Amino acid sequence: MAAPISAFVTAGFTHPEVLVSTDWVMNHIKDPKVRVVESDEDLLLYDIGHVPGAVKIDWHTDLQDPVRRDYLDQVHFEQLMSEKGIANDTTVVFYGDKNNWWACYAFWVFKLFGHADARIMDGGRTKWADEGRPLTKDVPLYPPTHYQAAARDDRQIRAFRDDVMEHIGSGAPLVDVRSPQEFSGELLHMPGYPQEGALRGGHIPGAKNVPWGRAVRPDGTFKSADDLRAIYEQEQGLKPEADVVAYCRIGERSSHTWFVLTYLLGYPRVRNYDGSWTEWGNLVGAPIEK
């Protein structure tokens, strides 16, 4: 299904097909081959009002294992897709609050299971609302599907602590997308949030600090490819061919940066370390810089 992507082509993105506009979503609300998914940090937003026809996917209760700190398995992902009316050939369009922060996280989890056609609505929930587009409290019910997921691939786009240790040893690039206060060790959590999550503050040795929000404009839309390259390549010295690992506190902000580097700039080898600082800052003997 081709999307009108001329604006995203003009922006110079390597994979403009992964972005859709609010106009595109408005024109495809009733398209049976499209499923719009809202994924927010604020779990009450969907109930207050959402894009008509959109289903809710909760990053915590839907995408996480209820006991282990890990993601749901293949069987439960298939069940979730069936419940949301998503088939293997469905175009899934994610959007949410906080500049599509959790939308990119859900997108990343879908890619762990190999879903083919996943996209992000540029500008997210804020842009949709600011444009005066309709919001509804009606929760849609779709016929169940017979989704068949690939086994979860934890090697291509996901990094673990041993991978990070190897990165430190080899000098490969690490991108810390947290705030400067978290990077320096002044805070153990995001500014404005409770001080919790790790016993130690600081950053992984050798990491570059590029706060995730720098990739978007004030209206929540992504900056152009030239502007993004100025940040990541000219300012921070990243090379497109490098093996890059991004991290934050629990992997949600870094999934946004993973999306930017992978799809908008076309880096072929970017992984999200979802253990992030919650794991690293609590590891006995893990090297830390401040």
Domain segments of the chain as ranges: 6-130, 158-280
Kindly state the tokens that stand for 3: 């999307």
Q: 197 vs 5, 189, 194, 211, CA distance in Å?
A: 40, 7, 9, 18
Residues classed as catalytic? 248
Q: Residues 76-112, buried b or exposed e (16+ Cβ, 10 A)? A: ebbebbbebbbbbebbbbbbbbbbbbbbbbbbbbbbb
The larger pLDDT score, comparing residue 192 to residue 212, is at 212
Residue 196 pLDDT grade (very low, low, confident, very high; cuts 50, 70, 90): low
pTM of the full structure: 0.96
Residue 1 has pLDDT above 90, yes or no: no
Residue 41 has pLDDT above 50, yes or no: yes
pLDDT at 3: 46
Amino acid at 32: P
pLDDT at 24: 95
pLDDT at 193: 76
pLDDT at 267: 98
- 92 strand-pairing partners: 35, 118
Estimate the crossing angle of helix 101-112 against helix 252-259, to 10 degrees. Answer: 80
Q: Which CATH class is domain 158-280?
A: alpha beta
pLDDT at 10: 85
Residue 273 has pLDDT above 70, yes or no: yes
Per residue in 108-138, pLDDT tens?
A: 999 999 999 999 999 999 999 999 999 999 9
Residue 12 pLDDT grade (very low, low, confident, very high; cuts 50, 70, 90): very high
pLDDT at 6: 61
| Nearest-angstrom CA–CA distance, 119 and 3 | 10
Cα pseudo-dihedral 102, 103, 107, 108, rounded to 10? -20
The larger pLDDT score, comparing residue 192 to residue 286, is at 286
Question: Average model confidence (pLDDT) for the chain?
Answer: 95
pLDDT at 250: 93
Kindly state the tokens that stand for 206: 């050798």
Residue 257 has pLDDT above 70, yes or no: yes
Which residues touch 10 (CB under 8 Å, ≥6 apart)? none
- As a whole-number percent, the residues of the chain with pLDDT over 70 amount to 97
Kindly state the tokens that stand for 248: 């934050």
CATH number for the region 6-130 comes to 3.40.250.10
Residue 50 pLDDT grade (very low, low, confident, very high; cuts 50, 70, 90): very high
pLDDT at 4: 46
Examine domains 6-130 and 158-280 and report if their fold is the same.
Answer: yes
| Nearest-angstrom CA–CA distance, 47 and 49 | 5
